[in-house]
Amino acid sequence: MKDKFEIKNFLDQRYRSNKDFQRWFNKYTLAALVDGVILGALVGLFIADNPYKQVKLDSPNALQTTLEVKAVEVTTQRYCDSPIDYIRCSGEDLGKSNKEISIMINIAKKESNMNQLAKNKSSSASGLFQIISGTWYSNDCVGDKWNFKDNTDCAWKIQTKRGFQPWEVCTLGLVNCK
């Protein structure tokens, strides 16, 4: 009885392993077939359109090669994300001298300590350059007084029209504005 059980168990294991083998074989044979088709197609395309195949130069099938050169303009990236950098960038864009740009940076340092949210307690002056509300509107300044870029743009408009006279730090001699 034990012999019959062992034979049956052996046949079951063999059947199971044969079934597993069939599944494995079918799975990987299909994958190999697909890979072969893809590889064959790629090789066929390479052979059919091989730019390196040898052709006689005087034959009508001779390859004509052209070299195309594109001109690229190289520009340097400017970083104008901080108040000081923006004062410098906007001043350069307006054609201001390095001295004028330095004076404007010093004015902003003295007026607001480079704080775009600075507010004067005794007047309506606010922002990086401490621009008074009336001055803001009379100079056609746009944007937000509390934004250092808008405040700087307005300060440059004022400086272009009236020089450095509107800033108290210049008139008191706290900044050398000459």
Are 65 and 137 in a shared domain? no
127: in domain: yes
Q: Which domain holds residue 38?
A: 1-69
Q: Please report the pLDDT score of residue 87 as a whole number.
A: 92
Q: Please report the pLDDT score of residue 12 as a whole number.
A: 52
Number of other CB atoms surrounding residue 43 within 10 Å:
10
- Partners of 131 in the β-ladder: 126
148: in domain: yes
Q: Please report the pLDDT score of residue 7 as a whole number.
A: 52
Are 87 and 46 in a shared domain? no
Single pTM value for the model: 0.56
Q: Supply the angle between the helices 98-112 and 83-93 in degrees, to the nearest 10.
A: 150
Are 87 and 160 in a shared domain? yes
Q: Please report the pLDDT score of residue 65 as a whole number.
A: 61
Cβ 157 vs Cβ 136: under 8 Å: no
Q: Please report the pLDDT score of residue 50 as a whole number.
A: 58
Q: Which of 63, 106, 57, 67 is nearest to 84 (CA)?
A: 106
Are 90 and 165 in a shared domain? yes
Number of domains into which the chain is organized: 2
Q: Please report the pLDDT score of residue 54 as a whole number.
A: 57
Residues 112, 106: Cα–Cα separation, whole Å: 10
76: in domain: no
Residues 31, 155: Cα–Cα separation, whole Å: 71
Q: Please report the pLDDT score of residue 81 as a whole number.
A: 86
Q: Please report the pLDDT score of residue 47 as a whole number.
A: 65
Are 100 and 165 in a shared domain? yes
Give SS3 for 161: helix
**In a structure prediction context, what are the per-residue pLDDT tens digits for the chain, which is 178 residues long?**
555 555 555 555 555 555 666 665 667 677 777 777 788 777 776 666 655 555 555 555 555 666 677 777 776 667 788 899 999 999 999 999 999 999 999 999 998 889 989 898 888 888 999 898 888 888 888 888 889 999 999 999 999 998 998 888 888 888 888 8
Q: Which of 170, 116, 57, 109 is nearest to 178 (CA)?
A: 170
Q: Please report the pLDDT score of residue 25 as a whole number.
A: 63
